[in-house]
Amino acid sequence: MAFNNGQLTTQANWLINIRHTLAFTNGQMTTQAKRLINIRHTLAFTNGQMTTQAKRLINIRHTLAFTNGQMTTQAKRLINIRHTLAFTNGQMTNRIMHKRIKQI
């Protein structure tokens, strides 16, 4: 995710929107979904810094665990939280982010 003055860039918004296409078959993520998670590791930084809030969200992504190609229950919950992110004029609302971070 790239941040400019606290606002996600179009590229970052696109990556988050991709999350809505995650497919599960019998509780198992498809190969396509696994590739999308790997995309998260290529997150960009603006001026070499991200907000503290953003770092917490990204660190959570790195804890996704797979057992025999299947995501753990914890990982599924984290992805479901991403689906509740709200956008206003292309910008994530802080209220939703704070609320969801506390639930984790």
- Residue 85 confidence (pLDDT) above 50: no
Q: How confident is the model at residue 48 (pLDDT cuts 50, 70, 90)?
A: low
- What is the token pair recorded at 79? 């992805």
Whose structure tokens read 């606290």? 6
- Residue 71 confidence (pLDDT) above 50: yes
Q: Is 64 helix (H, G, I), strand (E, B) or coil?
A: coil
- Residue 50 confidence (pLDDT) above 50: yes
pTM metric for this prediction: 0.19
At 40 the pLDDT is 41
Residue 71 to residue 9: CA distance in whole angstroms: 28
Using alpha carbons only, give the angle 33, 25, 40 rounded to the nearest 5 degrees: 15
